[in-house]
Amino acid sequence: MKKNNSDINLRIEKLREEIRRHDHLYYVLAQPEVSDAKYDELYAELKKIEDENPHLITPDSPTQRVGGAPTKEFQNVTHSIPMLSLSNTYSEEDIRDFDKRVNGLLEGRQYSYVCELKFDGVSLAIRYENGILKSAITRGDGVQGDEITQNVKTIRSVPLKLNISSTLPRNCEIRGEVVMNHTDFNKMNEEKELTGEKLFANPRNSVAGTLKLQDPQIVGTRPLRFIAYLLLDQLNDGNHFDNLHKLKQLGFLVDTNAKRFDDIEGVINFWKEWEIKRESLPFDIDGIVVKVNSLRQQEMLGAIAKSPRWAIACKFKSRKADTILLDIKLQVGRTGTITPVAILEPVKIGGTMVSRASLYNEDYIREKDIRIGDTVVVERGGDVIPKVTSVLFENRKKTSVPFIFPKKCPECKSKLVRFDDEANYYCENSECPMQIRGRIIHWAARGAMDISGLGDAVVDQLVSNEFVHNVADLYDLFKFRDKLKSLERWGEKSVDNLLDGIEKSKSREFNRILFALGIRHVGSSISQVIVDHFSTIEELMKVSVENLQNINEIGPKIAESIVRYLSDPHNKKVVTRLKAAGLKMASQRNKKSGPFQGKNIVLTGSLSNFTRDQAKELIESLGGKVSSTVSKNIDILVVGLDAGSKLEKAKKLGIETWDEEKFLSIINLHKKVTDV
Ligand code: IVH
């Protein structure tokens, strides 16, 4: 029966409400109620109804977060009220002075303060009209900023529609900070490292860089969060603390650490406490912000030049320091990546002694014109490794010379190579002791084979005493039990522990092994993708670069790297030995069976009974694989309406083509058979 319009409208609204509620539970409250699969199901249903009824799509629909077309240039717009900055204070005395000024200007009236964390991100103004997100604007110069609405819509902690009630505003502007958590930042940089892309220096830079991207689709993949700290509406007689509560009710993330104080002593203690507690936060803060609570009093106090008189920032001790760059050493990673490291005259930064810092790569050193002997600025942020961020050129000695990147590996002296499109140099000698060490440490690591008893120091001893040259040697170590016991600081118990840990690692799944092998550009998620498509190592060893690229998530770099790794005779031997030692070189998951078993299928044109995602899911559930491009390895091309070049190519290659009817009939036939 065909559904009538009001049924459809009701269902759409119900789905949108449900999805909004789950987004809020997940992204704002961090208390999800349903599984990802259930969420995806709701989303897919909404998307399907909207695809079929495009006139019912509204800008506040959860499907409209991503989908905006890339922008060529952002519009420059004027802020409703200028976005002021805060004056900074750095000492207890400064904070007391601020309080004296407030006290004087308020002429003996009672007042209180709200203290909040000062988030180290990028500030943003978001306008809502009748409860619907209308525009989002960067701070810019404070008077005018860039309109980046499409990008901001992809941030899941920004509601597209406010949670409205009679006590909450519908027409308002929300100001706050976009931040990125340390773990998300590190993960993102690790992935960038795997694909050889430029790394971001710190979470704030990565937020700023992301918000400026012209493609909202990419912005949507970046883990940004928006924390609201100001509510601007028509009501000026309330107070800021209540506004923070309103912001929370409207659906925003707010600072749950915010506190109200009646005197400046409380403010000073809050500042001192957070200077220490900042380490435990998942994101960077660079101080606290103190605001006079009453909005009327804020208005009375007003602003001078570019900052308000009713608020100040109380900054923490700097996480930056100047020191001398004594030397630049090269570090060799497990895949042979060479990383230059700054050796510094030790300096205390935020309570920690720092004597080494990252210099990333040759281009970074050249761009910043960093030279040995220079006075450099070193920064430490969150749990990120310290890095050299700039040079104090005024201190540069006339005799200084630019750093010439060494041409040989500092460990094994083999020639270093740099590929055209990559920033790093590599040591290509896979027998380089530092690479062996790195590969074994990676093999034993948590997310990989997770071998207890095989820490860095143990690996050092095993490699330097030539017990192991590769990961397969670990599984022969039991033959050398007695010799191991005689190693310095080793005994019966530690040897047993190690051998036991190695034995246990034999039960790890195939995807973990693939990740643990340390193939360049193959992280844990790509390993999972590979296992989804190839159930044994033999299958994977036979695949060509071209075929691998048929998998959506695998681009040319990853494909080439996998094939190069698995065709190397030395690596082949290691893999064979690992299999012989009893490691699981095949996926244990039940292979899906059905009419598409073993078939490689491409979809083209639009299907009338399914969305692309639904068709893909169906094929996979019936044993098939879906690829995105037509090549000679494709078995079937399913052709919908308005098919283009894929159909032509398939015809040329003589590939079997099915129309939607045939596709449906095969599925239905299978259903009939299995339903009996
Ligand atoms: S209130 C009138 N609250 O600090 C000032 N700002 O220089 C309104 N910031 O650009 C700002 N955390 O990006 C406020 N809890 C917080 C904040 C905060 C970070 C940033 C904001 C602003 C800068 C002030």
pLDDT digits 0-9 by tens, 308-345: 999 999 998 878 899 999 999 999 988 889 999 999 99
79 ligand 1 Cβ < 6 A = no
> Tokens 């920032």 identify what position?
313
CATH class of 78-315: alpha beta
Contacts of 381-385 with C-beta under 8 Å, sequence gap 24+, read 381/120, 381/202, 381/203, 381/284, 381/319, 382/182, 382/202, 382/203, 382/283, 382/284, 383/182, 383/186, 384/182, 384/185, 384/186, 384/202, 384/203, 385/357, 385/358
Question: Does 124 have pLDDT greater than 60?
Answer: yes
User: Tell me: the pLDDT tens digits for 257-284?
Assistant: 999 999 999 999 999 999 989 888 999 8
How far apart CA 226 and CA 321 sit, in angstroms, is: 30
The answer as to CATH 3.40.190.10 being correct for domain 510-590 is no
**Interval between CA 120 and ligand 1 midpoint (Å):** 9
pLDDT of 674: 46
**Interval between CA 56 and ligand 1 midpoint (Å):** 39
Q: Whose CA is nearest to atom 23 of ligand 1?
A: 85
Torsion of CA 543, 547, 548, 554, to 10 degrees: 180
CATH of 593-675 given 3.40.50.150, 1.10.10.10, 3.40.190.170, 3.40.50.10190: 3.40.50.10190
Residue type, position 6, single letter: S
Residue boundaries of the structural domains of the chain? 5-64, 78-315, 320-401, 433-507, 510-590, 593-675
Three-state secondary structure call for residue 266: helix
How far apart CA 574 and CA 517 sit, in angstroms, is: 10
Question: Does 383 have pLDDT greater than 60?
Answer: no
pLDDT of 676: 30
How far apart CA 243 and CA 229 sit, in angstroms, is: 9
pLDDT of 473: 97
Question: Does 590 have pLDDT greater than 70?
Answer: no
How far apart CA 203 and CA 639 sit, in angstroms, is: 45
Q: State the closest ligand 1 atom to the C-alpha of 177, by its place in the atom list counted from 1.
A: 13
**Which is the catalytic residue, given 14, 72, 118, 329?**
118
Question: Does 610 have pLDDT greater than 60?
Answer: yes
**Interval between CA 107 and ligand 1 midpoint (Å):** 26
Count other C-beta atoms under 10 Å from residue 659's C-beta.
Answer: 15
Q: State the closest ligand 1 atom to the C-alpha of 85, by its place in the atom list counted from 1.
A: 7
User: Tell me: the pLDDT tens digits for 536-556?
Assistant: 999 899 999 988 888 877 888
Question: Does 654 have pLDDT greater than 90?
Answer: no
Q: How confident is the model at residue 194 (pLDDT cuts 50, 70, 90)?
A: low
Question: Does 472 have pLDDT greater than 70?
Answer: yes
Percent of the chain's residues with pLDDT above 90:
59
Phi/psi of residue 409, nearest 5 degrees: -65, 130
CATH class of 5-64: mainly alpha
Among 123, 211, 292, which residue has the most ligand 1 atoms within 8 Å of its CB, making it the best to mutate? 123
How far apart CA 626 and CA 362 sit, in angstroms, is: 41
Residue type, position 508, single letter: R
pTM: 0.61
Residue type, position 198, single letter: K
**Is 306 tagged catalytic?**
no
**Interval between CA 59 and ligand 1 midpoint (Å):** 29
Side-chain-side CA neighbours of residue 67 (13 Å) = 11
User: Tell me: the pLDDT tens digits for 86-118?
Assistant: 999 989 999 999 999 999 999 989 999 999 999
177 ligand 1 Cβ < 6 A = yes
pLDDT of 578: 97
User: Tell me: the pLDDT tens digits for 61-81?
Assistant: 999 987 667 777 899 999 989
Domains 320-401 and 433-507 share a fold: no
Looking at per-residue pLDDT, the higher value among 161 and 108 belongs to 161
88 ligand 1 Cβ < 6 A = no
Question: Does 588 have pLDDT greater than 50?
Answer: yes
Question: Does 673 have pLDDT greater than 70?
Answer: no
Q: What is the CATH number of domain 320-401?
A: 2.40.50.140
Question: Does 5 have pLDDT greater than 50?
Answer: yes
**Interval between CA 527 and ligand 1 midpoint (Å):** 42
Q: How far is CA 72 from the centre of its chain?
A: 25
178 ligand 1 Cβ < 6 A = no
Question: Does 662 have pLDDT greater than 50?
Answer: yes
Q: How confident is the model at residue 675 (pLDDT cuts 50, 70, 90)?
A: very low
DSSP state of 406: P
Q: What is the mean pLDDT of the chain?
A: 89
Give the mean pLDDT of 110-128.
97
Give the mean pLDDT of 138-143.
92
Question: Does 647 have pLDDT greater than 90?
Answer: no
The answer as to CATH 3.40.50.880 being correct for domain 433-507 is no
pLDDT of 591: 55
473 ligand 1 Cβ < 6 A = no
